[in-house]
């Protein structure tokens, strides 16, 4: 076997290990505009039924449903693609930030070239996601390997502490 000299900045993380982390957080609902990047995680959640999955049509709808679940006493979170952050920005600002709704999301970096750093990716939405989050003062963590699974708890706890949005950028497709 020939070893590759190409360094990957992200590697696939087990959907099962991510689902286990969500169960430890006692997440009750996942609101999603389905993310093919996190398909294995979503498939596991759909099958298990111990965490209810609510499928939304748009990111604006997803952020509103998430807020309603939170206000009703649930422990919800979101699973979306990074382009959904761009699409739902006004809802993020108005609901998550201004209304102070803890909003925790796993954000798949669809079409990311894992052999490049985010800022060097050809895909403009991949390149621009972290500068956008910085400009909006939205904390984020990168989940680029199984060694980073701890950021799920850190991000969730920070969203509750800050009463606002915190996003986990999932660097490679789940397996």
Domain ranges (residues) in the chain:
15-170
- The model carries a pTM of 0.95
For residue 165, the tally of other CB atoms under 10 A from its CB is 27
Selection from 138, 166, 131 nearest residue 151 by Cα: 166
Answer yes or no: are the C-beta atoms of 41 and 76 closer than 8 Å. Answer: no
pLDDT value at residue 143: 98
Q: What DSSP string describes 105-174? A: EEEE-TT--TTS-GGG-SSHHHHHHHHHHHHTT--EEEE-SGGGTHHHHHHHHHHHHHTSEEEEEE-S--
pLDDT value at residue 1: 45
Mapped onto helix, strand or coil, the DSSP state of residue 96 is helix
For residues 107 and 1, what is the distance between their CA atoms, to the nearest angstrom?
34
pLDDT value at residue 78: 98
Rounded to the nearest 5°, which phi and psi values hold at 101? -100, 120
Q: What DSSP string describes 22-86? A: HHHTT--EEEE---GGGHHHHHHHHHH-SSEEEE-SSHHHHHHHHHHHHHTT--EEEEEEHHHHH
pLDDT tens, residue order, the chain (175 aa): 445 556 799 999 999 999 999 999 999 999 999 889 999 999 999 999 899 999 999 999 999 999 999 999 999 999 999 999 999 999 999 999 999 999 999 999 999 999 999 999 999 999 999 999 999 999 999 999 999 999 999 999 999 999 999 999 999 999 9
- Whole-Å CA distances, 162 to 17, 61, 78, 93, 155: 26, 22, 17, 14, 10
Enter the CATH code of domain 15-170. Answer: 3.40.50.970
């Amino acid at each position: 076997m020939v070893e590759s000299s190409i360094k990957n900045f992200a590697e696939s993380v087990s959907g099962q290990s991510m689902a286990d982390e969500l169960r430890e957080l006692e997440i009750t609902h996942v609101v999603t505009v389905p993310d093919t990047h996190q398909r294995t995680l979503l498939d596991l959640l759909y099958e298990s039924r111990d965490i209810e999955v609510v499928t939304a049509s748009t990111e604006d709808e997803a952020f509103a449903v998430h807020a309603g679940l939170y206000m009703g006493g649930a422990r919800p979170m979101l699973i979306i693609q990074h382009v959904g952050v761009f699409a739902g920005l006004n809802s993020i600002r108005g609901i998550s930030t201004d209304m102070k709704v803890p909003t925790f999301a796993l954000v798949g970096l669809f079409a990311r070239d894992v052999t490049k750093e985010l800022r060097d990716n050809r895909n403009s939405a991949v390149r621009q996601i972290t500068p956008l989050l910085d400009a909006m003062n939205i904390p984020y963590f990168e989940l680029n390997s199984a060694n980073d699974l701890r950021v799920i708890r850190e991000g969730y706890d920070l969203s509750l502490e800050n009463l606002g949005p915190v996003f986990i950028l999932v660097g490679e497709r789940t397996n």
